[in-house]
Chain A
Amino acid sequence: MTHLLDIRKLCIDFQSASGLFRAVDSIDMHCDSGEILAIVGESGSGKSVAMLAMMGLLPWNAKISAERMLFDGHDLLGLNKRERRRIIGKDIGMIFQEPMSSLNPCFTVGFQIGESLRLHLGLKGARKRERSIALLRQVGIPAPETRLSAFPHQLSGGMCQRVMIAMVLASNPKLLIADEPTTALDVTIQAQILELLLSLQREKDMALILITHDMGVVAETAERVQVQYAGQKVEEQNVRSLFSAPRHPYTAALLASLPERARTRGKLPSIVGVVPGQFDRPPACLFAPRCAQAKSVCNENVRQQGAAHGHALCNFPLEYTK
């Protein structure tokens, strides 16, 4: 079976003044039509960078290498710029964290949606306008006819995010990447936007990759979850078993430190130390210095477990007795 998106051993290094910095470390990832994949991790875990690399949005000092990077049968690494543009933005859409800053403040909402329609679908004039209005209506913007001539600063954060979604939907993408789409929004607006994304995903049978750090959002929206730590994928499970039986000690510790999971009002279980940086990268398991279960062997090598243990990148995955 071929996946819609199939990435194997993706590595991304940044050339910095102090040497190479590995932001993404041999990550495997796949996603199918109609599926919702969530990527969770703390800041610096490489979750956004991996997706930006796929979109070709990384700066020149990033070195991307992968064994395989296939989307819908196309090899994304082998494409030239012109061919890539035909796929990126059309078949793969992306929305970002800050809706206010991802829209161009100099142009009206209608112009920005129309641009996408003109470039990808070749629509013009009245048909373009008609389709723009239909898209705005689809994402739940009241009075879409008048909103076409509004500038981004005249809209609230939630409305801007709806406009972003409308722009992405304009070309009927097969894959939608949402990079922290609700982090900058209030909870009641977050609920509206998530509901909208999910209903559109179901309606159009899109693949949705949701990048987030909010465990609650993951639990309520995703089907499959992959957990990243310091640029590596440390665990992958379906959402229910991830929350009931996390296999990697990092995932388990992260879930335990959620205030809502604390049994009593006392001390929250926390993870000691901080994420390793460029110069204190451990030799084998990257989580070993912070791990409660680490043994000396964890500093020599680390083994990838099978599906039964959530693909955990850990020598001693957590066991559960049923």
Chain B
Amino acid sequence: MQLPARVYEVKELVVSNQPIISAVDLKRYYSVSKGLLRKAGVVKALDGVSFELAAGKTLAVVGESGCGKSTLARLVAMIEHASAGELLLDGKSVYSNKSASNKIGGNKIKLNSRETRQAVQVVFQDPYASLNPRHKIGTILEEPLALNSKMSAEQRRSRAESMMQRVGLRPEHYERYPHMFSGGQRQRIAIARAMILNPRVLVLDEPVSALDLSIQAQVLNLLAELQREFGLAYIFISHDLSVVRHIADYVMVMYLGKVVEAASVKVLFSEPRHPYTVALLSATPTTDSRVRKKRLTLKGELPSPLDPPDGCAFNPRCPNASKECRKEQPALKQAEDNSRQLACFHPMATQ
């Protein structure tokens, strides 16, 4: 396979301004088998998520653990099949057969989807776990090329070396093993590996959470440079809102498998409307004493996804919850001022 020239591709995408990747009502259910003392159940890890993302843009997905953000990442990266819904790359479905019902593992990913898979790559949270300790950096970087292209060994090596240089690694690192690197350098290796097949979408699953503060800034800068240079679309999974605010264009806030609020980064951070978003923002500690507001501390914890509450999943912890919220689930709707999508009966007032 000849790898296409990068510059040409980016130009074309910017002109078309079409979403590279989009999801329509994506769902992923897991069945929990019957144990000795509990009955079988279904965990709705991801329950109907839709989004569109164009080249050069970043979509951040935030939420607490168990909200389904990593499940979304695995679905977008095509590591897992969807239970229902549609994932489109350049307007074409990546799934071969669709089941009408919400059967677990219903939508299968096409088998001959090498090109599709190459277009979407992943960077994981923990660079200590995501690199094979028995492989040299060179081997790690060249493996995707060896599997997916017809490049000769020399071509592969030169491509790996140029990619190493691009992410800020030195040529002598080619012969080294992962344990000889610090966390920040390892994350650079993971980024280089993801970039080596010229992807168009990068799924970044908490890429800087495991890194120290001074290293975090280096890696975020690198990601921003790569995005500008190659016109990449980023799906950025994170729980750190200050990082999200810095890097994202759009933000999706998730709670128990559902999107509760989605808006541009400016709108979401300046005037959040969903009570959960407000609580999340006010719970994040800040170093700036001027913006420190009265805190909306939530009572209780995330409910068990095996046994979600009736109505809105957030109602047991919500300060605005009413009878309606305990009975009916609010749908994600476009807000009246078109600024955002919101799933709440009683949103907070704008200040």
Chain A positions near chain B (C-beta within 8 angstroms): 42-43, 156, 158-159, 186-192, 194-195, 213-221, 240, 243, 253-255, 257-262, 265-271, 274-275
A211 to chain B, nearest CB (A): 14
Is B295 a contact partner of A191 (Cβ separation < 8 A)?
yes
Given A265-B246, A268-B220, does the pair A195, B214 have CB atoms closer than 8 Å? no
Is A42 a contact partner of B214 (Cβ separation < 8 A)?
yes
Is A42 a contact partner of B245 (Cβ separation < 8 A)?
no
Query: Which residues of chain B from 219 to 271 have any CB-CB distance to chain A below 8 Å in the complex?
Result: 220-221, 224, 239, 241-243, 245-247
Q: Which residue of A lies closest to B317 (CB)?
A: A188
Is A257 a contact partner of B214 (Cβ separation < 8 A)?
yes
Is B221 a contact partner of A186 (Cβ separation < 8 A)?
no
B64 surroundings in chain A (CB, below 8 A): 186-189
State the CA gap A192–B282 with chains docked (Å): 12
Is A240 a contact partner of B289 (Cβ separation < 8 A)?
yes
State the CA gap A156–B66 with chains docked (Å): 12
State the CA gap A253–B215 with chains docked (Å): 12
Q: Which residue of B lies closest to A272 (CB)?
A: B218
Beyond A158-B301, A259-B242: 17 further Cβ-contacts under 8 Å?
A: A156-B302, A186-B64, A186-B65, A186-B239, A187-B280, A188-B297, A191-B295, A219-B285, A219-B287, A219-B288, A219-B289, A260-B288, A261-B287, A261-B288, A267-B221, A270-B221, A271-B214
Chain B positions near chain A (C-beta within 8 angstroms): 64-65, 182, 184-185, 212-218, 220-221, 224, 239, 241-243, 245-247, 279-280, 282-289, 292, 295, 297-298, 301-302
A259 surroundings in chain B (CB, below 8 A): 217, 220, 242-243, 245-247
Is A243 a contact partner of B287 (Cβ separation < 8 A)?
yes
Is A268 a contact partner of B239 (Cβ separation < 8 A)?
no
Is B283 a contact partner of A188 (Cβ separation < 8 A)?
yes
A262 partner, pick from B239, B246, B284, beta carbons under 8 A: B246
State the CA gap A268–B215 with chains docked (Å): 11
Q: Which residue of B lies closest to A186 (CB)?
A: B64
Given A186-B239, A216-B286, A255-B287, does the pair A270, B218 have CB atoms closer than 8 Å? yes
Given A43-B212, A215-B287, A261-B287, does the pair A274, B184 have CB atoms closer than 8 Å? yes
Is A270 a contact partner of B217 (Cβ separation < 8 A)?
yes
State the CA gap A150–B217 with chains docked (Å): 42
B280 surroundings in chain A (CB, below 8 A): 187-188
Given A156-B301, A158-B301, A192-B297, does the pair A214, B285 have CB atoms closer than 8 Å? yes
Interface centre among B214, B243, B302 (most CB of A within 10 A): B214
13 contacts between A and B (CB under 8 A): A42-B213, A158-B301, A159-B301, A187-B284, A191-B283, A191-B295, A214-B285, A216-B285, A218-B287, A243-B289, A260-B287, A270-B214, A271-B217
Interface of A is mostly: helix
A164 to chain B, nearest CB (A): 16
State the CA gap A218–B65 with chains docked (Å): 23
Given A215-B287, A220-B292, A257-B214, does the pair A187, B243 have CB atoms closer than 8 Å? no
B189 to chain A, nearest CB (A): 15
Interface centre among B246, B295, B302 (most CB of A within 10 A): B246
Is A216 a contact partner of B287 (Cβ separation < 8 A)?
yes
B185 surroundings in chain A (CB, below 8 A): 274
B214 partner, pick from A219, A221, A254, beta carbons under 8 A: A254
A143 to chain B, nearest CB (A): 13
A271 surroundings in chain B (CB, below 8 A): 214, 217-218
Q: Which residue of A lies closest to B185 (CB)?
A: A274
A240 surroundings in chain B (CB, below 8 A): 289
Is B287 a contact partner of A268 (Cβ separation < 8 A)?
no
State the CA gap A213–B212 with chains docked (Å): 8
B212 surroundings in chain A (CB, below 8 A): 42-43, 213, 275
State the CA gap A274–B183 with chains docked (Å): 10
Interface centre among B217, B245, B288 (most CB of A within 10 A): B217
A243 surroundings in chain B (CB, below 8 A): 287, 289
A52 to chain B, nearest CB (A): 20
B316 to chain A, nearest CB (A): 12
State the CA gap A267–B224 with chains docked (Å): 8
A186 surroundings in chain B (CB, below 8 A): 64-65, 239, 302
Is B286 a contact partner of A268 (Cβ separation < 8 A)?
no
Is A274 a contact partner of B286 (Cβ separation < 8 A)?
no
State the CA gap A194–B212 with chains docked (Å): 22
State the CA gap A43–B301 with chains docked (Å): 29
A221 surroundings in chain B (CB, below 8 A): 285
Given A262-B246, A274-B182, does the pair A187, B283 have CB atoms closer than 8 Å? yes
Across the A-B interface, the 8 shortest Cβ-Cβ residue pairs: A216-B285, A259-B246, A270-B217, A260-B242, A257-B217, A186-B64, A191-B283, A42-B212
B92 to chain A, nearest CB (A): 32
Interface centre among B218, B285, B298 (most CB of A within 10 A): B285
Interface centre among A188, A191, A218, A275 (most CB of B within 10 A): A188
Is A188 a contact partner of B214 (Cβ separation < 8 A)?
no
Is B221 a contact partner of A268 (Cβ separation < 8 A)?
yes
Is A217 a contact partner of B243 (Cβ separation < 8 A)?
no
State the CA gap A220–B284 with chains docked (Å): 10
State the CA gap A155–B100 with chains docked (Å): 38
Q: Which residue of B lies closest to A191 (CB)?
A: B283
Interface centre among B184, B246, B286, B287 (most CB of A within 10 A): B287
Given A186-B64, A270-B214, does the pair A260, B245 have CB atoms closer than 8 Å? yes
B222 to chain A, nearest CB (A): 10
